[in-house]
Amino acid sequence: MLKFPIYLDNHSTTQPDPRVVKVMLPFFTEIYGNASSSTNEFGWKAGAAVENARKQVSKLINSDSREIIFTSGATESINLAIKGTADAYSHKGNHIITVKTEHKAGLDSCKSLEKKGYAVTYLSVDKYGLIDLDELKNAITGKTILVSVMYANNEIGTIQHIEDIANICKEKGVLFHTDATQAVGKIALDVSKLNIDLLSFSAHKMHGPKGVGALYIKNKSLKIKITPQTDGGEQEKDLRAGTLNVPGIVGFGKACEIALNEMDSEISRIKNLRDTMYNGIISQLDEVYLNGHPDKRLVNNLNLSFKYVNSDALMMSMKEIALSTGSACSSGSMETSHVLNAINISEDLRHSAVRFGLGRFNNDEEIQYTIHKVVEKVNYLRKISPAYQMAKKGVYAEP
C-alpha cells in the first residue's frame, strides 16, 4: 500500500536503515562508555566498537583503517582537509584549485582561506558540469598545494573524471582532495587505484546516522600532513579533538558494510526506478530539460527543469512528495543555484529546476504516483502561466 509522504530528497539526507539503528541502540543504553577511557570495561568495549567500525568504513573505499579519521560529518571533513592542508603546507605555497560547482562546505572553506592571503582558482565547468582537464593542468603552478574537486555533484549528479584529475595532481606533485559525500556507498570507489590523497564523506547520505562522517588521509607512500582545526584533546591521532560519537560511528560502520554488500543490486534497482521516472515524465510533457550529464551521473539523481513552471510552486502543489530545488544547505536562499548558474542554463530554467533524489526505500508504486502528480501539476501550472500562454500563441523563448 502506498504510504505518504513519499520521500525523494535522498541527496539531502537518507532514512537510516533499520539494521543500522539496531546495532546503534546498545551503545546508547548498555555500552555507553567513552571510547578514549582506557581504565574500565565500558571504555574498552566502546573503543573496540569504534575500531571495528573504522575497519568497516575503510573496507568500503579500500583503504587501511588507520587512514580513516572520524568527524562530525562531511562538512567538518572538508574543512579539515582544505584548511588543515593549507596550514600544513603553507611553507610550500599558497595556491589552491577548486571548482565553481563545489558544495558550500568546500567553497566557503576556500573563501575563508582567501581572507588569510591564499590564492584560489575556481575552475569553470561545461554544460554538463564537468571540468576541463587542460584548464586544470594550466591552472597548476609552482605554488599550488592542493586541488579539491567534488566526486559527484549533489545537485545535478554529474560524476567528474576523478582518476584523470588525481593522475594530473600526482604528476604535478600536488595533493588531491575530493568531496565524495554523494558518491561513497553509491559508486564502487577504490582510493588506492584512484590515487586519491584525501577524501571526505558522511554517514547520513548512505542510510546511516546524522552527526558522523570521515576523512580519509593517505598514509602509504606519502604521509600527508594536516594541521588540526580544533583543540582540546588527542582523539583521532591528534587531528580531531572531542569525545567520539560512539553510537554514530558504530552506525556509520554498519551503513558502510551494508552498502558494500548490496551496492551492485541497489545500483541496478535504483537506476531502473530513476529511468522509469524520467521516461514517464518526458513522454507526457514537452520542454523538460535534464540538468547534468546524461550518462556520467549518479544513478539516484534526476534534476529536471520544467519550462514555464516555478519550481517552488510545483513543489508546494505536491506537498505529499518530499523534493528540493538543490542543496539542502542553501534551500532557504532566494538565489538560484550556483551549480545551475555555473552550467550556464537560462534564468527561467534555473527557477524551474527540481531535484529528485531516489534511495534504498523507494519503490515502483511511489515512482508511478510521482510521475502522475508531476505531469498533472506541471500541466495545471502551465495552463495558468502567462509565459506559457504566450508561447502557445507562437512567441517562444529560447531555453
- Per-residue pLDDT tens over the stretch 48-57: 999 999 999 9
Distances (CA, A) of 130 to 40, 153, 167, 212, 348: 52, 10, 16, 29, 22
Q: In the prediction, which pLDDT does 396 show? A: 52
Q: In the prediction, which pLDDT does 332 show? A: 52
Phi, psi of 356 (to 5 degrees): -100, 120
Grid cell in block for residue 286:
514537452
- Per-residue pLDDT tens over the stretch 102-118: 999 999 999 999 999 99
Grid cell in block for residue 114:
582567501
- Per-residue pLDDT tens over the stretch 150-199: 999 999 999 999 999 999 999 999 999 999 999 999 999 999 999 999 99
Identify the band that residue 281 occupies on the pLDDT scale cut at 50, 70 and 90. Answer: very high
Residue 394 has pLDDT above 90, yes or no: no
Identify the band that residue 399 occupies on the pLDDT scale cut at 50, 70 and 90. Answer: very low
Grid cell in block for residue 272:
531502473
State how far the Cα of 306 lies from the Cα of 378, in Å rounded to an integer: 7
* Cβ-contact 269, 257 below 8 angstroms: no
State how far the Cα of 22 lies from the Cα of 6, in Å rounded to an integer: 24
Sorted by where each starts, the structural domains of the chain and their CATH numbers stand as 6-12+263-392 (3.90.1150.10), 18-258 (3.40.640.10)
Query: Could you tell me the sign of the dihedral formed by the alpha carbons of 204, 161, 353, 272, in that order?
Result: negative
* Cβ-contact 159, 108 below 8 angstroms: no
Residue 222 has pLDDT above 80, yes or no: no
Grid cell in block for residue 189:
570507489
Q: What is the distance of C-alpha 349 from the center of its chain?
A: 23
- Per-residue pLDDT tens over the stretch 329-340: 554 556 789 999
Q: Inter-axis angle of helices 246-282 and 41-61, to 10 degrees? A: 30
Residue 329 is among the residues annotated as catalytic for this protein: yes
Grid cell in block for residue 289:
530539460
Tell which wins on pLDDT, 336 or 131: 131
Q: In the prediction, which pLDDT does 127 show? A: 98
pTM: 0.95
- Per-residue pLDDT tens over the stretch 17-50: 999 999 999 999 999 999 999 899 999 999 999 9
Catalytic: which of 110, 169, 256, 329? Answer: 329
* Cβ-contact 223, 32 below 8 angstroms: no
Beta bridge mates, 223 = 219
